[in-house]
Amino acid sequence: MDGHSSPLYQKLIESGLSTDFTINSGFDPMTAVNFFTIGLQGINEEVSKNLQQHVIKSLEEAKLEGFSSDKIKAIIHQLELSRKVENASFGLSLLNSLVPGWVNNNDPLLSLEWNKIINQFNEDYSKQGSKLLTDLIDKYFIDKPYFKYEMVPDESLPQKTIEEEQERLKSKVDSLSSEDKDVLYERGLKLLEKQTEKEDLSCLPTLSVSDIAREGDFSKINHRILNDNNSELQTRTSSKANGISYFRAQKTLTSDELPQELVKYLPLFTQCLTNLGTHDKSMATLEDQIKLYTGGVSASTFVHGSIEDSSVPYLKFGLSGLSLDGNFEKLLSLWTELLNETNFNNIPKLSTLIKSISTDNLSDVVSSGHGYARTYASSFISPVYKLKETLDGIEQVKFLSELGKIEADGLVAQEVVPKLEKIKEIILNGSGFKYSLTSSRESIKTGESEINKFNSRLSSFKPHKITPYDTKLKEEFSNYANTDFKNYVQIPAQVSFASMAYPGVSYLNKDGASLQVLSQLLTFKHLHSEIREKGGAYGGGATYDGLNGIFSYYSYRDPTPFQSVNVFKDAPNVVIEKIKNGEISLEDLDQSKLTIFQKVDAPISVDQEGMSMFNYGIDDEVRQERREALLEVELEDVIESAQKYVTGNTSESIIGSTKESEPEMKGWSVTELK
């Protein structure tokens, strides 16, 4: 099922039967009874009716065709690489890998004998070939019992749900006697009393701020100019590389190169590079090569603010990949091929990709609505978040819906392909790339040499420059400094999310540390009880984006979003009052700092070492200054920052299903997602 070269993907997705597999598709070994699920989404009624025939036919064809030895080797290579990659959660991942054997009555420790397992498979495969795997199709799938589950869309479901809930509530209330109501009222008062009383946490074990190291633990990195003198290479020699080389390439994009109307196409462009194939090779062939020689390749775009001025945005395009040291040249060769030869005119593949990413985007909003609400609110007061909103916010969701309509109308070749070709031209002919390499001491020199060759093969020989996307955006936003924004996004769902945002300060400004501590105090000393315990939301709090200079509130799956917005408005004054009357103590301040440093000092994966410098220009000296600023924050600093920054004009956003005719919607600008 996995990937473009897999039989089920080709027969069930690429053929046009569906837009993608469902999220639960695949083999689940974590239960006592194992499951193999083949789920399709975006299918019509006819396909749904005959789903089992389509699936069984696809399995039978896969059995007859068998599996190539290269594909088997590629999968084994991926499994072996996954054991070598040391990430931040390596120990936990290792423990989780023991569970499937354990619940299936096997000795869990035997699964740690990885080399023995692989050698046994290779021996069996050399004797039986593809039959070793195709026999499993007969054994477990063909003519075996199965369970079919079907979900059908219903436009009236939200209204039916509301009516059903109202009927249930009415029946419950009608069945209560006056004595029952008195009991419930008394219980409510006791609950409120319990929610507002001060908790005694003295019995709990805890660390203190004195346990936090004053000096940070930083990764040693080196920089040098490549031989052609037009690019920079950052290298990191790691003892945890385990024979793997980690590669990144990155460049900044400006509005002179990439106009704003093309920015929304960047996420699609990055996915095209690893989904369409080239003029000479199908994506299935390329994917097998990627799996056979690398641990994966990916392209991405992101935006961030300057550490000196958070209102100055940098838009960046990046490549990444990893491989065994001996295959590093192959990794770079694949990237050269993908960058230069991707076939954007492969309309069937491009249409499949567009259908896949545009079909289920609303579910992402429902599952991560608090993040979308924060980004949307921030986009009205921050140039950085304006671009971020275009790349991965509500505006991107709208654009994906537009893409879906373009695909349905058969206009991909005319409307989309020229934009993608233009972006490719900009990427290859704009400013140059800079590079990052993390590897072992034995392989670092060889890797540097290969990167130098890779840089020479690219069509652009312009020097790498770190240039803001558009300096005019800052001026544009300064015109709205004294404006309040109230924006409501309507979605067809029964959940709501609320957010409120304020502009903060740059990363280098020491007040940023106070704002970060303030966000923690607000969350745990006020907002959690008001938004979650009393308001009924699944969660809520405050957060400060130190790099991009935005202080924001949020609520998650919130039944009373307008009430939450009012709580947000009053929150700074409430916390200031609690500090002054002693309800928030120095102990609470220390706990906030400990929570912050839990993330600051958390273990990082090998491929993330040195990335704060590579991605954002934050060197060790700046990180140390930030660390010291956080440690030195006092309650007086928190009060001062709350009064100075978290006040005045706001940008508010709610994502939900409240009708425009409702009284609380007065004064809100409404946009609709369908």
Please write down the HEC assignment for all residues of 188-210.
HHHHHHHHHCCCCCCCCCCCCHH
Out of 432, 453, 473, pick the residue that ends a domain.
473
Highest mean pLDDT among 39-43, 177-181, 366-370, 518-522 belongs to 518-522
Same domain, 607 and 463: no
50 found inside a domain: no
Q: How confident is the model at residue 153 (pLDDT cuts 50, 70, 90)?
A: confident
Could you tell me if 509 and 480 are in contact, meaning their C-beta atoms sit under 8 angstroms apart? no
Same domain, 563 and 540: yes
19 found inside a domain: no
**Which amino acid appears at position 606 of this protein?**
V
Q: What is the pLDDT of residue 331?
A: 97
Q: Give the count of domains, the chain.
A: 2
Q: What is the pLDDT of residue 460?
A: 63
| Domain of residue 297, CATH code | 3.30.830.10
Q: State mean pLDDT over 133-157.
A: 88
Q: State mean pLDDT over 355-370.
A: 85
Q: What is the pLDDT of residue 354?
A: 93
Same domain, 521 and 428: no
CA distances (Å), 43 to each of 22, 40, 52, 165, in order?
Answer: 11, 7, 13, 30
Q: What is the pLDDT of residue 33?
A: 83
Same domain, 279 and 231: yes
Q: What is the pLDDT of residue 208?
A: 85
How far, in whole angstroms, is CA 145 from its chain's centroid? 37
Q: What is the pLDDT of residue 439?
A: 94
178 found inside a domain: no
Same domain, 466 and 490: no
Same domain, 458 and 499: no
Same domain, 506 and 640: yes
596 found inside a domain: yes
Which residue did the predictor score with more confidence, 370 or 457? 370
129 found inside a domain: no
Q: What is the pLDDT of residue 229?
A: 66
Return all residues near 261 (Cβ < 8 A) that are at least 6 apart.
none
487 found inside a domain: yes
Same domain, 234 and 330: yes
507 found inside a domain: yes
What confidence tens digit (pLDDT) does each residue in 444-466 have? Answer: 999 999 999 999 887 666 788 88
Would residue 31 be called left, alpha or beta, if left means φ above 0 and alpha means ψ between -120 and 50 degrees?
Answer: beta
- Give the range of the structural domain holding residue 286, as residue numbers without chain letter: 222-346+416-473
Which residue did the predictor score with more confidence, 499 or 50? 499
Could you tell me if 435 and 304 are in contact, meaning their C-beta atoms sit under 8 angstroms apart? no
What confidence tens digit (pLDDT) does each residue in 552-585 have? Answer: 999 999 999 999 999 999 999 999 999 999 999 9
499 found inside a domain: yes
Q: How confident is the model at residue 532 (pLDDT cuts 50, 70, 90)?
A: very high
Same domain, 331 and 295: yes
Q: State mean pLDDT over 233-257.
A: 93
Same domain, 427 and 499: no
Same domain, 605 and 580: yes
What confidence tens digit (pLDDT) does each residue in 600-638 have? Answer: 999 899 999 999 999 999 999 999 999 999 999 999 999
Same domain, 431 and 552: no
